[in-house]
Amino acid sequence: MNVVLSLALRRSLRRTVLLGVALGAFLFLVGLSYATVDENQIRILVESLPPAIRAFVKGSDVASPAGYLGSGFVHPITLALMAATAIAAGATSARDVETGVAELMLSRPLRRTSWLGAEIAAMVVQVTIVAVLGLLGATIAVASVDSLAPVSLTSLVITIIPLWLMFVGIGAVTVLASSFSRTGAKAIGWGTAFALVAYAIDYLSQIWTLAEPLGPLSVMHWYRPADILGDGSAPASTWLVLGGVAIVASALALLVTSRREVAP
């Protein structure tokens, strides 16, 4: 399993580091830009915005240090960088079936579950690297901007962990899609569709009363970074739902792969 994990990480190292540096730079810039913000003016501005626009920051008080920095964690750029990491990593097993790498590996005395377990572990490590580099960018910003002083390092860590867990879940769903797919493109398509639908449901549930009950069906509904930054902790439901998605999707993927054919 270690051999497959090591190969999976080596092949993706450059992409992962690039995505992580991009996320770190983005969250650093978000934090840095708070130095130029007049808290009262931005509060008035945000309150004048229609709910459909405010929903992009999940209704948090973006004028406060925690709310402003938290908006960076749910910004489409952050979500896109994390999703790109998780989905690309999650689709590796389908791509390996497509290109014959899986056939080469699994014609050795290697369990299918060990092979896929290593691919899942590699996905988790890649999402972790990107999240840690993002955390690093946000931390440097907090250390550099005096007005962000109320945001503690602990609350930043507690904020990034559910973000990490959410994208591990999206990656695991992509791994599950991979275990049904013969091509990487199909798996990427399913993973992307899952992330986009989750985003759309979460967004619509905030701006449209009729869609409000659908909110909990989206993994993104369970991630409220501004609340976590403000409270200093995430609710148990966040951990349970996001962790549950990751575990159930991974377990199903292992089950399907143990029975599937792996010929290109």
Partner 1 sequence: MSSSAAIRAEGLGKSYGHGVMALEGVDLEVGHGERLGFLGPNGAGKTTFIRLALGILRPTAGTVAINGHDITSDRLAALTDVGYVPGDLGMIKQVTGARMLDALGKLHPRPPALRDHLLKALDLNDVALRKRIREYSTGMRQKLGLVAALQHDPPVIILDEPTSGLDPVMQARLLEVLEDRARHGRTVFFSSHVLGEVDELCDRVAMVRKGKLLLVRDVDELRRARVRTVEVLFTSPVDPSAYVVDGVADFRVEGHVHHFTLAGDPGPLLARLGALAPADITIEAARLEDVFRALYLEGDA
Binding residues (CB under 8 A) for partner 1: these are 3-4, 6-7, 10-12, 14, 96, 99-111, 261-264
User: Cβ closer to partner 1: 9 or 214?
Assistant: 9
User: Cβ closer to partner 1: 221 or 260?
Assistant: 260
- What lies within 8 Å, CB to CB, of 236 at 6+ separation is none
User: Cβ closer to partner 1: 14 or 146?
Assistant: 14
Q: Please, what is the minimum distance in Å from the beta carbon of residue 105 to partner 1?
A: 7
User: Cβ closer to partner 1: 87 or 101?
Assistant: 101
User: Cβ closer to partner 1: 4 or 127?
Assistant: 4
Q: Please, what is the minimum distance in Å from the beta carbon of residue 133 to partner 1?
A: 20
Q: Please, what is the minimum distance in Å from the beta carbon of residue 98 to partner 1?
A: 8
Q: Please, what is the minimum distance in Å from the beta carbon of residue 23 to partner 1?
A: 22
Q: Please, what is the minimum distance in Å from the beta carbon of residue 87 to partner 1?
A: 18
